[in-house]
Amino acid sequence: MPIISVFYGMTIKVYQGDHNPPHVHVSYGEYSALVDIHSGKLLAGSLPPRSLKMLREWLKANQAEILKAWDSACQFKTPKKVRPLA
């Protein structure tokens, strides 16, 4: 599963050939979650509130790039990296 970004201890990945809705897999220490790319809604798992807030900020700021990475992964292509939250 390709890593598309890493920031503030969070690792964000997309799985190749994954299912809808478009989402990212996030790991942060002992936490892991699936988060919808469009809405920022937590689909599964958990993250600390501050980390989830930062992730949602990143999703909003980079949505087009993240969706391109998602599309590439769904086509079993290597997605491009997405700039981290600064």
Rounded to the nearest 5°, which phi and psi values hold at 65? -65, -40
| Residue 29 counted as domain residue | yes
Which residue range(s) make up the domain with 58?
3-74
Q: How many domains does the chain have?
A: 1
Q: State the amino acid at position 25 in one-letter form.
A: H
Place of tokens 């087009």: 64
49 falls in which pLDDT band (50, 70, 90)? very high
| Residue 17 counted as domain residue | yes
| Residue 83 counted as domain residue | no
| Residue 82 counted as domain residue | no
| Residue 18 counted as domain residue | yes
In 3-state terms the chain splits into helix, strand, coil percentages (rounded to 5) of: 30, 30, 40
Mean pLDDT of the chain: 96
| Residue 42 counted as domain residue | yes
- pLDDT of 43 higher than 80: yes
